[in-house]
Amino acid sequence: MKSCVCILRAPAAALAASLLAAACVLTPPAPPAEPAARQAVDRFLLMGRLSATDGEHSATGRLEWQHRPDADRWTVFNPLGQIVARIEDGQDGAELTLASGEHRHAPQAADLISGLFPGIVDANLPPARLAVWIQAAPPADAEVRTLDAQGRPARAIDQGWSIDYLAYRDETPGALPRLLDIFRGDFRLRLTIDQWETP
């Protein structure tokens, strides 16, 4: 009689397992996140750390960037706190000052931006686009490939550049990025933003 009970239980267990598997298959996936409304501000001050590489050479340091509608100032410091390079960009053009005291002038900051990464080639970042990339508010003609659970950009593609948003300051939809990778070809820039000041 005991063996008979065991024989009857086996089909019941198999039926329960198959029903459970079917329920898992029929459970619909979570709907994709809706894009969060994000608006870039036209002035900010950020402080953080950067590391850049072109596949052969690398540079690390601290970054201070003051951005206004009519002017920008980027300052890169080495790990000891000494200025490596500074670009000041305004209505009269742009000037790069290096630690050696050398000065270079150009009509716009885009012509000098690679000077912030001495020894690295192909660091031709577009400053105007960079100002909105770092706020996770890509321009309308950029492609946002993926969103995170809060609807914020996780990866965007713009003018051949890829921007990966690896961490935000908090879990709110409007939070500013804390860690991002920007890359094209062999050039890769990682920014860790420690402090944001916005209006």
Could you list the residue range(s) of the whole structural domain that residue 55 is in?
44-197
Taking a C-beta distance cutoff of 8 angstroms, is the pair 25, 173 a contact? no
Query: Consecutive sets of 10 residues in the chain, 199 residues long: mean pLDDT of each?
Result: 44 52 52 78 96 93 96 94 95 95 95 90 89 95 96 97 98 96 96 94
Quick check: is 37 in a domain? no
Structure tokens at 106: 């150009």
Q: Dihedral sign, CA of 104, 105, 106, 110? A: positive
- CATH at 175: 2.50.20.10
d(CA 164, CA 90): 29
Structure confidence at residue 5 (pLDDT): 42
Quick check: is 3 in a domain? no
What's the domain count of the chain?
1
d(CA 189, CA 136): 15
Quick check: is 188 in a domain? yes
d(CA 67, CA 22): 56
Chain position carrying tokens 């970054």 = 63
